[in-house]
């Protein structure tokens, strides 16, 4: 079945440093979504990317969809302690049953 690999699994940064998480698939994706889960909380939808090469920004967060639509990245500029949490990418399988397949997540720790 379809799988997505997300790296790194963990990342510790000093406040103010940048952070990037990557999501990779062996097959072409129709779209990709990103979610954030705060410690002790639940995942919250951040954004969906659909077009090849698409780049979207939300304040200090930049989301990118690869040209071949097989990979995506989430970059945070100048991290803050409020960025702490686990970031998941999620994709629809080619069978398009409506059920998302989630990556393993990248847990970000920010030292103040």
- Interface with other proteins (CB under 8 A): 31, 33, 35, 41-45, 48, 88, 90, 92, 97-100, 102-105, 107
Closest CB to other proteins among 13 and 101?
101
Q: Beta strands 106-111 and 10-14: pairing type?
A: parallel
| Smallest distance, other proteins to C-beta of residue 8, A | 13
Give the Cα separation of 32 and 89 in Å (integer).
7
Q: Which residues pair with 58 in a beta bridge?
A: 61
Q: Are 15 and 111 in contact (CB under 8 A)?
A: yes
Closest CB to other proteins among 98 and 112?
98
| Terminal alpha carbon distance of the chain | 41
Closest CB to other proteins among 13 and 100?
100
| Smallest distance, other proteins to C-beta of residue 106, A | 10
């Amino acid at each position: 079945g379809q799988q997505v690999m997300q790296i790194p699994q963990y990342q510790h940064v000093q406040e103010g440093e940048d952070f990037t998480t990557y999501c990779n698939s062996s097959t072409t994706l129709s779209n990709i979504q990103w979610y954030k889960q705060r410690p002790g909380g639940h995942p919250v939808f951040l954004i969906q990317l659909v077009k090849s090469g698409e780049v979207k920004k939300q304040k200090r967060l930049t989301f990118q969809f690869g040209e071949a639509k097989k990979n995506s990245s989430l970059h945070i500029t100048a991290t803050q302690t409020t960025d702490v949490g686990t970031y998941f990418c999620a994709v629809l399988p080619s069978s398009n049953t409506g059920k998302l397949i989630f990556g393993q997540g990248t847990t970000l720790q920010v030292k103040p």
